[in-house]
Amino acid sequence: MMWKVWQTSPFFRRLFSTNEPEKILPIEQIKQYVTPCSILTFNLGSKGVEQKISILGVERSTNTAFYIKYATSEIARQNVFNEGFVLEQLSQLPFVPKLQLCVKEENKFTLIKTTVLKGNKINHQPVNEQILSMLFTLSAQQVISNRKYDSNLLSCFAHGDFCPWNMLVDEGMIELFDWEMAGQYPLGYDLFTYIYQFEFLVNEKMRFDLLFDENSENINRYFNYFEIIDWMPYFLEFSILKYKLESEKNNRDLIKPYLHLKKYIVNKTRQIKYP
């Protein structure tokens, strides 16, 4: 809404314009890592301990787009550094942005610079062959990360926030960005995130039985790939971990749904009999 008003109202533009952008933007730091005369657009991000500044830029000499993520708070610096560290190890994957630069100024800021993925926003869709193939590819990656969640279950490398809003589609192929949460997670973490996170945040419903029935076939296919028949312990571990992580962030939109999901899984496990 503010962008629309900005486009149509000269008064609004004067009211919210400044001739001293360096007072609110880290221009001097960013200038060190871009070519002269680059065009930059800044997004200050949501306020909080995880706030980061996102910068979309174009190098005018080559007309090449680039993306910068800049963080100053302790938690945000850790997240951005983890993303850079992970992207450096995933350079061979075609659906991942390429890391160009990772800078860590101790106790000051962390910055990463990457290529820009091209494509259109993806609408949420049921789990399909392409989603499963991407998950299998990720699970095979031997990646060192700052994030490792130990349990007595099998784990694998995962994106950590495998949701439609972190995806683009280009010529029918899905691309994946925002790798801050990437690390070692129990098997199925990304798959369950894809199914339930969208439901809880966008649809704002807790249709546990319906979602379970709709996705059981593809969940079975995923775990059969790893020769696991009883995947309910992984489902339960996912709900416990998500509840823990969202509680640590005080994310009220997700704490209650994942607590209810945990209770649902416990009851469901009592009902299911495996051969």
Which CATH number fits the domain 20-114, given the four candidates 2.60.40.60, 3.40.50.10680, 1.10.645.10, 3.30.200.20? 3.30.200.20
CA-nearest of 158, 168, 152 to 136 is: 158
| pLDDT tens digits for range 115-155 | 999 999 988 889 999 999 999 999 999 999 989 998 899 99
Confidence check: pLDDT of 245 > 90: yes
* Predicted structure pTM score: 0.91
Provide mean pLDDT across the span 239-251: 93
How far is C-alpha 56 from the chain's CA centre? 18
Higher-pLDDT residue of 78, 49: 78
The third-level CATH classification (topology) of the domain covering 120-271 is: Aminoglycoside 3'-phosphotransferase; Chain: A, domain 2 (3.90.1200)
Provide mean pLDDT across the span 86-114: 96
- Going 198 to 203 to 207 to 210, the CA torsion angle's sign is negative
Span(s) in the chain for CATH 3.30.200.20 = 20-114
Q: Rounded to the nearest 5 degrees, what angle is found at the Cα of 183, between the Cα atoms of 210 and 52?
A: 95
